[in-house]
C-alpha cells in the first residue's frame, strides 16, 4: 500500500467532552486506543464435528495517555469522582470520548464513545526529564460512527 494512503497520528484528534458543558481542554493526548468489543459464544452439539459460533457486541473500551498541560485533567478527575460518589443526581453528568480520522481524500470519520465510565486516573511522574502523564482507561455501552 502506498505510504500516502495510510493515516498517521497527525491526521487524528481525540477529545473528551462533558455533556452540557464545553469541551474539556485536555489537548496533550499522547496516544489513544478504542476497541469495539465482541464476545464470541461457542456451543457444541451432539452429532456435529465442530462447534457453532456466534458473537455478541458487548460495548466499547479504550485507553489513552495524557500529558498534563492544564488543570483540566484534575477537573475531569473531580467530576468523575463526584459522579462515582453519587454527588450528582443520577446520570446527569456524562462524558464522551470522540476520535476523528482525516483521510488523504479529506474524508473525516468520527467515532464517539457515548457516556463513558473511567476505571482510574494513575498520574505518573517518571523522572526529572519526563513529562507528567496520566494513563486512563474507559468503557462505554455504545459508540456512534459518522462520516463528516
Chunked in runs of 10, what are the mean pLDDT values of the chain (148 residues)?
69 81 77 95 95 96 92 89 81 86 90 93 93 95 93
Question: Smallest Cα–Cα separation from 54: which of 40, 65, 66?
Answer: 40
CB 43 within 8 A of CB 72: no
Q: Tell the residue number behind the cell numbers 465510565, with chain if given.
A: 117
pLDDT at 15: 86
pLDDT at 4: 61
Query: Which residues in the chain belong to E strands, given as ranges?
Result: 12-18, 29-43, 52-67, 95-102, 108-114, 117-118, 123-124, 133-140, 142-147
pTM of structure: 0.84
Q: Rounded distance, CA 9 to CA 102, Å? A: 10
Amino acid at each position: 500500500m502506498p505510504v500516502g494512503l495510510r493515516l498517521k497520528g497527525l491526521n487524528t484528534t481525540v477529545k473528551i467532552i462533558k455533556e452540557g458543558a464545553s469541551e474539556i481542554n485536555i489537548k496533550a493526548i499522547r496516544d489513544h486506543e478504542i476497541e469495539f468489543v465482541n464476545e464470541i459464544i461457542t456451543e457444541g452439539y451432539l452429532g456435529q464435528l465442530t462447534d457453532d459460533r456466534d458473537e455478541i457486541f458487548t460495548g466499547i473500551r479504550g485507553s489513552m495517555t495524557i500529558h498534563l498541560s492544564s488543570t483540566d485533567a484534575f477537573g475531569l478527575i473531580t467530576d468523575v469522582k463526584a459522579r462515582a460518589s453519587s454527588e450528582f443526581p443520577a446520570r446527569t453528568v456524562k462524558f464522551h470520548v470522540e476520535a476523528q480520522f482525516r483521510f488523504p481524500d479529506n474524508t473525516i470519520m468520527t467515532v464517539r464513545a457515548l457516556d463513558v465510565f473511567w476505571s482510574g486516573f494513575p498520574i505518573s511522574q517518571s523522572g526529572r526529564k519526563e513529562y507528567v502523564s496520566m494513563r486512563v482507561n474507559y468503557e462505554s455501552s455504545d459508540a456512534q460512527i459518522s462520516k463528516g
